[in-house]
Chains A and B, each alone.
Chain A
Amino acid sequence: MSEKQYKLVKCIINGKAQEAIVDVRASLTDMLRNDYRMTSVKKGCEVGECGACNVIIDGECYNSCIYLAVWADGKEIKTLEGLMGPNGELSDIQQAFIDEAAVQCGFCTPGVIMSAVEILDSGKIYKREELRKLLAGHLCRCTGYQNILNAVEKTMYQRLGKELPDYLESR
C-alpha cells in the first residue's frame, strides 16, 4: 500500500469557515460525518442513487457520497444542520415537513429538505409536476412522496405570498 495522502480542505460549512486535513480518499459524506459530525448527511446507497446524503454546494444539490472531499476546497456547503435559526427557530420548510406529516422514518428527510431548499431559494414558481421532477433524486420508502410534495409546494406558495391552489387547501 502506498503512503497515505492528505490535503488541507478549507471551505465554508453552514456559514462558518472551516478547515481540516482530509484523507484524499474521503467522500464529502465521510468528511461531513466524520470530521464535522454532520450526521444529518445519511448513507443510503453510497453510489448516488438514493439522495440521502444530499447537500448544497455553491447553491446546487449534490450527492455527497460521490463527491470527493478534496473537491470541497473553496466551496460553500450547506447541510440540514445549518437551517435552524440562531435561537432554535425552524425554517419554514422544516416546519412544513412537520405540519404535513412528511416525515416518517426520517432517514431520507435531511436530503430531501436540502433539495427543497434549493428549489425554494430559486424564488421560482413551479407546477406540481415540475416539483416532482426537481425532487426525483430522492428515494423514500415510507411516505409515497405525497406529503413531502405537499410540504414543498405549500412552502413555495407561502414564500411567494401566493394563495394556495384549491387542491392543496383541501389536503
Chain B
Amino acid sequence: MSALVRLADVSKYYGNIRALEGVSLEVHAGEITCVLGDNGAGKSTLIKIIAGLHRHDAGTFEIEGEEVRLGSPREALDRGIATVYQDLAVVPLMPVWRNFFLGSEPTKGKGPFKRLDVQLMRETTRAELHRMGIDLHDVDQPIGTLSGGQRQCVAIARAVHFGAKVLVLDEPTAALGVKQSGVVLKYVAAARDAGLGVVLITHNPHHAYLVGDRFVLLKRGAMAGSHAKPEIALDELTRQMAGGSELEQLSHELERAPVPDVIGGKHVEEPGQGA
C-alpha cells in the first residue's frame, strides 16, 4: 500500500538558517507516525510544510503518490490534510458550532438569500462531538469556556468530520494534565481506527509510545533516527529523545560542578540539595 504522505530528504532554510535538512517520513492510513524532538528541533517547520503554510526548499513531498508543493493551508485541506495546531485554530469568543464549521460553512438558499444552515450546523456539531464522547449541553457557548482537552477533541472531531485523510496534531498533550492527555490520546487512536493517517508531533516519548506505529526523531533540524515500533523499546526511545549520551554527560557535570561563590558556595544548606 502506498503512503498517504511521503517526505523524502525534505529541507527548509530561512535565509542562512537551516530549519530542516534531509528529513524523511511516511504516513500510512490507519497508522500513527510520531515526530519527536526537543524545542527547536524543527518540528514546527515540518508541520508547516505538511500543512501548506511554508514551501519546502529541497527534497520531495508526495501526497498519495503525487509530488506537491503546497501554496496555502486551503490547498492542504483540499487534499485531505487537516492540521490541529497547538493553539487549536479556534476563535475563543465564538460559539462552539461556529468554530466547528469555520471556513467551511454549509449554506442554503440562493443569491442574496444564501444563508448559513444554522440548524444543520448546530445539530451536526452536537452529533459529531457526541460521537467523540463529548456531551456538550450547549453548543452556543463560546469555545473558550471549554477545557483544554475538550477543545482539542473539538478540533479533532472537526478534522474527522471534514473528511481528512491525514491528521496532523501539533503537541496535542503538551498543555494538558495526565487525565486529559489520556482522553486526547484515546481520540487520536479513535481517529487512527477510523482509517486516518495521523502525524503526532510531541516531545513526550511516553505518549508517543502508547499510540505510535513509527517514530521519527529530529534534532537541530536533522533526522536523528527513524524506527518502526517493533524495532525499538520505550527506554531506548526515551534515551534517544532525551539526548542519550548528552544527558549522561550533563548528569556527570551536574554532580561535579562546585557551587559558585556568588550564590553562597558550600555554606548554603538547602533541604533538597542531595538530588
Whether A associates with B in a native complex is: no
* Chain B contacts to A: CB under 8 angstroms: none
Task: Give chain A's interface residues, CB within 8 Å of chain B.
Answer: none
